[in-house]
């Protein structure tokens, strides 16, 4: 049996911040290409985001996270950065970003942005210099290795996006490592100069007033310097449903290495302390992700960690993953999401095509009742579905590579629908980079805004109620065995004890619990209580006050 390092031994730990605004916060993820287009070129931009921030603030969320907008050739839609200190012209200017931050702060929204430090674009000036020779000042800034005697790559590591994770460069006569596209060479975190340079790139944005980073794909940051082969594993499907070569290996030597804390997280954390109430959120995935979430966020240099477990599971599997995380988190802190720009939209994943509207309303309430902070993907407040696209409409290199087993990530990246009757849902006056899709256009903000029973209004009402519930923001969590098809758990602080109950099926369910004292006053609850017995309709929701000992 393959043995992973069970935990990271951290010594010494970094301290905790005084202002923990992010703890239990709802962080609204904005995918800028698809949020709002202000200039009619079919691509969303920073001024478009600024113009729509009233909608976001009105939901009752605490912060926004903006996916990459830095200068990039867009091989992977911004996750291939060519200049960390500039805004790509398709999204606007640095002045536009400053205005966005100012407006968000005026609306009492914190601003987090994506930071992509594990790799750059092939067009970044660092890589251009590094590939020029084997003895230039940046020759060791990226991961270079000699071919084997037969000319093949240095080891068996594979790219997430298909093929070998190595690309041969004729100029240097060596391979460079790329865990994603060949246009995304990996930086060498074993070189202290690289860490120092990345820390200064991060400082640039703290100086512009941001409140934190979501650090992308950071578990790929450190590689095994001995370049040992990864062991095989039974084939597994990825979150898009495809069995790819990458998932035929245990990512033992190229990912989630223990050195990551000392080499990267802690230096960045210490730099960030000068900026007060900020947050470092790391994206963690893979076989050891739950343990690494705990390690990295309990003194390892992250404030909290973001896992993929709930981005690909069924509703029936939510309890298993959350309990596994709770068992190892200790004083660490998790961040959960059901949807994002990389994974199927949750309404489709949980409900298939044409999901039940009651399920659409339940999903945000379940997500935002879990212990941890929450990343809430744009359009989740509308119950948006995965958009069906033809091969000809695809933009994503993942979909183009693995079609038809995987249709890639475009179906969850289609534009936000703002107006039902407007062309392209009011997203743009031009031709959108991806179609809105008729199903999602019918779920537009303006139509739902006037419907008291809509997903949008239910989500608003719930999130505003949640803001006042200390137990839902920071309380402990424990599941209750209530019967098949039910997710029932308690959330407790010293001042408040709540029971949260969700029927995850399309038929009525009942349960009884002696600890129930009374209704909790949640305006979106659909369950009914008779004494200690609760009846939940299909996809029903209920919150109750409970005694201190249940």
CA distance 67 to 45: 11
Q: Which of 62, 32, 64, 63 is nearest to 49 (CA)?
A: 32
Sheet (strand 533-536) strand order = 509-512, 533-536, 528-530
Q: Which residue has the tokens 């407790």?
A: 492
CA distance 68 to 248: 29
CA distance 73 to 121: 8
DSSP 169-222: ETTTTEEEE-SS-TTSPBB-TTSHHHHHHHHHHHHHHHHTT--EEEETTGGGS-
CA 146 distance to own-chain centroid:
35
The CA-atom distances, in angstroms, between 102 and each of 30, 53, 91, 209, 421 are 17, 11, 17, 9, 32
Q: Which residue has the tokens 């960045």?
A: 268
Instruction: Give the angle 77-78-83 at the CA atoms, nearest 5°.
Output: 150
Q: Using the 8-state DSSP alphabet, how is residue 506 labeled?
A: S
DSSP 508-525: -EEEE-TTEEEE---TT-
Q: Which of 346, 352, 343, 388 is nearest to 364 (CA)?
A: 346
The token pair at 342 is 């990389």
CA 156 distance to own-chain centroid:
28
- Domains of the chain are 26-122+189-464 (3.20.20.80), 475-546 (2.60.40.1180)
| Max CA separation in the chain (angstroms) | 77
What is the average pLDDT value for the chain, to the nearest integer?
A: 94
Contact predicate 454/435, CB 8 Å: no
CA distance 325 to 318: 11
Q: Name the residues annotated as catalytic.
A: 216, 273
* Predicted structure pTM score: 0.96
The token pair at 503 is 């029927």
* Helix locations, 346-451, DSSP H: 346-351, 357-367, 397-402, 438-441, 445-449
CA distance 183 to 219: 19
Instruction: Give the angle 198-264-173 at the CA atoms, nearest 5°.
Output: 65
The token pair at 218 is 């950071």
Phi, psi of 240 (to 5 degrees): -95, 0
Sheet (strand 497-503) strand order = 476-480, 486-492, 497-503, 541-546, 516-519
Q: For every one of its 550 residues, what pLDDT tens digit does the chain have, with 9 covering 90 and above?
A: 354 454 544 446 787 788 999 999 999 999 999 999 999 999 999 999 999 999 999 999 999 999 999 999 999 999 999 999 999 999 999 999 999 999 999 999 999 999 999 999 999 999 999 999 999 999 999 999 999 999 999 999 999 999 999 999 999 999 999 999 999 999 999 999 999 999 999 999 999 999 999 999 999 999 999 999 999 998 877 666 677 899 899 999 999 888 999 999 999 999 999 999 999 999 998 888 888 899 999 999 999 998 889 999 999 999 999 999 999 999 999 999 999 999 999 999 999 999 999 999 999 999 999 999 999 999 999 999 999 999 999 988 888 888 887 888 999 999 999 999 999 999 999 999 999 999 999 999 999 999 999 999 999 999 999 999 999 999 999 999 999 999 999 999 999 999 999 999 999 999 999 999 999 999 999 999 999 999 999 999 999 999 975 4
CA distance 141 to 149: 24
CA distance 387 to 427: 15
pLDDT digits (tens, 9 = 90+) for 179-231: 999 999 999 999 999 999 999 999 999 999 999 999 999 999 999 999 999 99
Phi, psi of 247 (to 5 degrees): -85, 10
Peptide bond just before 339 cis, omega within 30 deg:
no
């Amino acid at each position: 049996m393959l043995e992973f390092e069970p935990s990271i031994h951290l010594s010494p730990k970094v301290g905790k911040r005084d202002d923990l605004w992010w703890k239990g916060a709802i962080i609204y993820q904005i995918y800028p290409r698809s949020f709002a287009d202000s200039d009619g070129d079919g691509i969303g931009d920073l001024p478009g985001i600024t113009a729509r921030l009233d909608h976001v603030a009105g939901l009752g969320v605490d912060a926004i996270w903006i996916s990459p907008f830095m200068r990039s050739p867009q091989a992977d839609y911004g996750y291939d950065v060519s200049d960390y200190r500039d805004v790509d012209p398709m999204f606007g200017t640095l002045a536009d970003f400053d205005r966005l931050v100012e407006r968000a702060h005026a609306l009492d929204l914190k601003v987090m942005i994506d930071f992509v430090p594990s790799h750059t674009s092939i067009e970044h000036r660092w890589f251009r210099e590094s590939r020029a020779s084997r003895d230039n000042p940046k020759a060791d800034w990226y991961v270079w290795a000699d071919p084997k005697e037969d000319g093949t790559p240095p080891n068996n590591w594979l790219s997430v996006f298909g093929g070998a994770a190595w690309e041969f460069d004729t100029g240097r006569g060596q391979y460079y490592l790329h865990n994603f596209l060949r246009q995304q060479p990996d930086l060498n975190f074993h070189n202290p100069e690289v860490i120092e340079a990345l820390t200064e790139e991060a400082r640039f944005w703290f100086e512009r007033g941001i409140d934190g980073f979501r650090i992308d794909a950071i578990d790929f940051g450190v590689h095994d310097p001995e370049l040992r082969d990864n062991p095989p594993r039974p084939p597994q499907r990825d979150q898009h449903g495809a069995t790819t070569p990458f998932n035929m290996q245990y990512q033992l030597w190229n990912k989630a290495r223990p050195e990551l804390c000392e080499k990267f997280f802690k230096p960045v954390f210490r730099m960030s302390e000068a900026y007060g109430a900020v947050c470092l959120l790391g994206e963690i995935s893979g076989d050891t992700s739950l343990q690494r979430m705990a390690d990295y966020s309990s003194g390892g240099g992250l404030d909290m960690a973001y896992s993929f477990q709930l981005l690909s599971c069924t509703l029936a599997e939510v309890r298993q993953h959350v309990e596994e995380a709770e068992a190892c988190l200790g004083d660490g802190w998790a961040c959960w999401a059901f949807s994002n720009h990389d994974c199927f939209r949750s309404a489709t994943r949980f409900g298939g095509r044409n999901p039940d509207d009651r399920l659409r309303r339940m999903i945000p309430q379940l997500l935002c009742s879990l212990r941890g902070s929450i990343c809430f993907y744009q359009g989740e407040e509308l119950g948006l579905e995965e958009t069906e696209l033809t091969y000809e409409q695809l933009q994503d290199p993942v979909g183009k590579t693995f079609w038809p087993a995987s249709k890639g990530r475009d179906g969850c990246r289609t534009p936000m629908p703002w107006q039902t009757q407007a062309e392209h849902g009011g997203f743009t006056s031009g031709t959108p980079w991806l179609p809105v899709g008729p199903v999602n256009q019918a779920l537009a903000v303006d139509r739902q805004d006037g419907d008291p029973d809509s997903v949008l209004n239910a989500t608003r009402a719930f999130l505003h109620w949640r803001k006042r519930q200390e137990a839902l923001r920071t309380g402990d969590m424990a599941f209750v065995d209530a019967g098949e098809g039910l997710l029932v758990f308690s959330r407790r602080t010293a001042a408040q004890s709540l029971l949260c109950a969700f029927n995850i099926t399309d038929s009525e369910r009942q349960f009884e619990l002696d600890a129930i004292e009374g209704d909790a006053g949640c305006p979106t609850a659909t369950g009914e209580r008779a004494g200690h017995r609760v009846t939940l309709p299909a996809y029903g929701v209920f919150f109750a006050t409970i005694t201190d000992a249940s």
